[in-house]
């Protein structure tokens, strides 16, 4: 089947620390991969995406590279800020117009 | 452009009751998806509507039903509510295209509590 596995949280980091949130996937075809972020009391917002192997998605200092050989899409940021505190979801979809499969989310808290 | 709006934002029901949640899709989008997000979990796909017809469904029973209207807004109906239906219900819209991966635009959700 299709599924996404994320590292469990919560994750607490000091400001300016390096962030990695691991994400691996299982898919019956060739998925597109996404990271969504959910701030308290809000819906999910697209953070970045990659649609084929070796693509790197990036936005707001966050990066993730689509690794087909390891079926992974790990999220990284070199220097986190307090404003990055949120829940991060890894997701995949198999084709245009199809459903998304989400991981369970990883809660990040950044302390000053 | 306006984003995805959902109503109501919070509601409380009792077991056995019925509920209707509403969603206005983002301007220019023609497809609406509904997701259930239980506390501490990721969103789970309920179903999707395109051109006023359901064109995809997740592992949810028939008491979860929906509608899409000509203006692309949508409703989610849940009958015979159970305690486990307590969750955040998210609506997402996108413009279905034949190329590239669709990007979902989410609303802020409707928080349903079943007592």
| Alpha-carbon distance values, A102 to A89, B12, B45, B70, B79 (Å) | 6, 26, 9, 29, 25
Yes or no, beta carbons of B31 and A42 under 8 Å apart: no
Query: Number of CB pairs < 8 Å for A and B?
Result: 70
Identify the pLDDT of residue B103: 84
For the stretch A20-67, pLDDT in tens is 999 999 998 889 999 999 998 888 999 999 999 999 999 999 999 999
Tell me if chain B has a CB within 8 Å of the CB of A112: no
Q: Is the per-residue pLDDT at A98 higher than 80? A: no
Yes or no, beta carbons of A44 and B106 under 8 Å apart: yes
Nearest CB partner across the interface for A44, out of B55, B90, B101? B90
B98 against B4, higher pLDDT: B4
Contact list in A for residue B101 (CB cut-off 8 A) is 32, 34, 49, 51, 93, 96
A71 against A41, higher pLDDT: A71
Contact list in B for residue A101 (CB cut-off 8 A) is 45
Nearest to B92 by CA among B48, B58, B62: B48
For the stretch B40-78, pLDDT in tens is 899 999 999 998 999 899 999 999 999 999 988 999 999
Tell me if chain A has a CB within 8 Å of the CB of B103: yes
Nearest to A28 by CA among A94, A82, A86, A90: A94
Contact list in B for residue A1 (CB cut-off 8 A) is none
Instruction: Report helix, strand and coil shares of chain B as percent, to nearest 5.
Output: 5, 50, 50
Query: By the 8 A CB rule, do A17 and A109 touch?
Result: no
Contact list in A for residue B90 (CB cut-off 8 A) is 43-44
Tell me if chain B has a CB within 8 Å of the CB of A29: no
Q: Is the per-residue pLDDT at A106 higher than 80? A: yes
Tokens of A62: 């966050």
Nearest to A99 by CA among B36, B77, B28, B24: B36
For the stretch B93-109, pLDDT in tens is 988 776 666 788 999 99
d(CA A54, CA A51): 9
Phi/psi at B75 (5° precision): -130, 145
| Alpha-carbon distance values, B100 to A32, A94, B87 (Å) | 9, 11, 31
């Amino acid at each position: 089947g299709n599924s996404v596995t994320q590292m469990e949280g919560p994750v607490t980091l000091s400001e300016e620390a390096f962030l990695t949130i691991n994400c691996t996937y299982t898919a019956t075809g060739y998925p597109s991969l996404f990271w969504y972020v959910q701030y308290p009391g809000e819906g999910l917002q697209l953070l970045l995406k990659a649609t084929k192997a070796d693509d790197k998605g990036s936005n707001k200092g966050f990066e993730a590279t689509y690794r087909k050989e390891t079926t992974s899409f790990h999220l990284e940021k070199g220097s986190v800020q307090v404003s990055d505190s949120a829940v991060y979801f890894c997701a995949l979809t198999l084709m245009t117009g199809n459903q998304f499969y989400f991981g369970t989310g990883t809660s990040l808290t950044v302390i000053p | 452009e306006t984003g995805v709006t959902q109503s109501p934002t919070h509601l409380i029901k009792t077991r056995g009751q019925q509920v209707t949640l509403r969603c206005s899709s983002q301007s220019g989008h023609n497809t609406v998806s509904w997701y259930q997000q239980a506390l501490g979990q990721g969103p789970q796909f309920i179903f999707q509507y395109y051109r006023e017809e359901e064109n995809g469904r997740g592992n949810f029973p028939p008491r979860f039903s929906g509608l899409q209207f000509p203006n692309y807004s949508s409703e989610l109906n849940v009958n015979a509510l159970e305690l486990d239906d307590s969750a955040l219900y998210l609506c997402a819209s996108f413009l279905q295209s034949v190329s590239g991966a669709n990007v979902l635009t989410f609303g802020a959700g409707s928080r349903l509590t079943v007592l």
